[in-house]
Amino acid sequence: MKAQGPGPDLTSVVSDVLKYGVLISAMLLVVGIALLVVEQPSGMPSSVQQLASSNYDKPTLSLGQLLSGVGQGTAGFVLQLGLLVLLATPVVRVFASVIVFAAEKDRTYMAITLIVLGILLCSILVVGPAEVRGG
């Protein structure tokens, strides 16, 4: 899987997606933990059991709520964004692989990678929400 022509090495782009995704996620998580240490928000559960029971059966946040909370410097929202970036990194990597295989005109691996991407997206967008609704 070598890049063709004088352009950038596409395989290094794919590996950079993983490297920078994990790095950005780690930085967000460190900032979120630091915000928790500096000022513990009121109403923060004092144990894992309280946290689990307080979040049970609540809908997930919208992207707008998440970004608004991050913009306000709320520790919980910064931590959630860090975790979302960490979870999204492998999906972005698979998508980048599709682009690499398309650029190299490798139809077999592109097709296989598209199937993997489809399975990932189906599990995130269809199966996950169905499980949350209980059905």
pLDDT tens for the 135 residues of the chain, in order: 444 554 567 778 888 888 999 999 999 999 988 988 887 666 666 666 665 555 545 556 678 888 888 898 888 889 889 999 998 999 999 999 999 899 889 999 999 999 999 999 988 888 766 666 665
Q: What does each C-alpha distance from 25 to 44, 81, 86, 88, 135 come to in angstroms?
A: 23, 8, 5, 10, 31
Instruction: Report yes or no: 123 and 51 within 8 Å, Cβ to Cβ.
Output: no
Quick check: pTM over 0.75?
no
Q: Rounded to an integer, what distance in angstroms lies between the CA atom of residue 31 and that of residue 33?
A: 5
* Coil vs helix vs strand at 104: coil
Q: What does each C-alpha distance from 70 to 29, 56, 93, 133 come to in angstroms?
A: 12, 22, 25, 27
Residue type, 102: A
**pLDDT value for 110:** 94
- Cβ neighbours around 97 below 10 Å, total: 23
**pLDDT value for 3:** 46
Task: Render pLDDT for 95-106 as a digit per residue (tens, 0 to 9).
Answer: 999 998 998 899
